[in-house]
């Protein structure tokens, strides 16, 4: 159902129309953090999310899907023909919690590293896709935040989360 919501949200966006969804089961109405990643022709085409639960899950999926298709600064907005062929992956996040570097498990934890107004997030699947060890994962998350790669050693705040990740096949491994 969430994949269908994501697809419909993207197509409605590029067609310039609003969408409305019936209230889904209670589980999908719970506020959750979520990231939606879209792929075109097997390659990353956009990834946007809400790391903190601020909307009911089904609405968060619709909003992040629309944003991934139109607001990821790395890519031009999705066209209508392309919108109908996208493959989607959804990551439903657990709440964020502080973690020590030694407790980070590659493939299990996603990271948020912040210092002042700078904040970077990488999903749990990213270090696995790239073959990173724990230190590289920490460094890359710092870099994503616009921080020096060793900021995790010098006072930046480290938080972790887990994610339930599901999506459609025919997706090439790509960094989010």
Q: What does each of the 176 residues of the chain score in pLDDT, given as a tens digit?
A: 899 999 999 999 999 998 887 777 888 889 999 999 999 998 999 999 999 999 999 999 999 999 999 999 999 999 999 999 999 999 999 999 999 999 999 999 999 999 999 999 999 999 999 999 999 999 999 999 999 999 999 999 999 999 999 998 644 444 45
Q: Which CATH architecture has domain 97-162?
A: 2-Layer Sandwich (3.30)
Strands (E), the chain: 33-40, 43-50, 87-93, 97-98, 110-115, 118-122, 157-161, 163-167
Question: Per the structure block, which two tokens stand in for 80?
Answer: 């209508």
Q: What residue ranges do the domains of the chain occupy? A: 2-93, 97-162
**Bridge-partner residues for 164, per DSSP?**
92
Which of 33, 42, 171 has the alpha carbon at shortest distance from 110?
33
Domains 2-93 and 97-162 share a fold: no
**Global pTM value:** 0.85
The hierarchical CATH code for the domain 2-93 is 3.30.700.20
Q: Is 168 exposed, middle or buried (0-12, 13-18, 19+ CB in 10 A)?
A: middle
Torsion angle of C-alpha atoms 100, 103, 109, 111, degrees rounded to 10: 20
Contact 165, 2 (CB under 8 A): no
């Amino acid at each position: 159902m969430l994949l269908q919501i994501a697809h419909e949200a993207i197509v409605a966006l590029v067609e310039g129309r609003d969408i409305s969804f019936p209230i889904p089961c209670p589980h999908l109405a719970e506020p959750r953090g979520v990231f939606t990643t879209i792929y075109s022709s097997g390659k990353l085409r956009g990834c946007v999310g809400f790391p903190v639960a601020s909307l009911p899950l089904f609405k968060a999926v619709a909003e992040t899907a629309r944003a991934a298709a139109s607001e990821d600064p790395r890519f031009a907005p999705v066209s209508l023909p392309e919108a109908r062929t996208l493959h989607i992956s959804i990551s439903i996040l657990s709440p964020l919690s502080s973690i020590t570097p030694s407790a980070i498990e590659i493939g299990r934890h996603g990271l948020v590293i912040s210092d002042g107004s700078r904040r970077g997030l990488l999903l749990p699947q990213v270090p696995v896709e790239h073959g990173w060890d724990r230190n590289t994962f920490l460094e890359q998350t710092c870099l994503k935040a616009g921080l020096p790669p060793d900021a995790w050693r010098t006072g930046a705040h480290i938080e972790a989360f887990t994610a339930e990740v599901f999506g459609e096949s025919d997706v090439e491994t790509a960094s989010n």
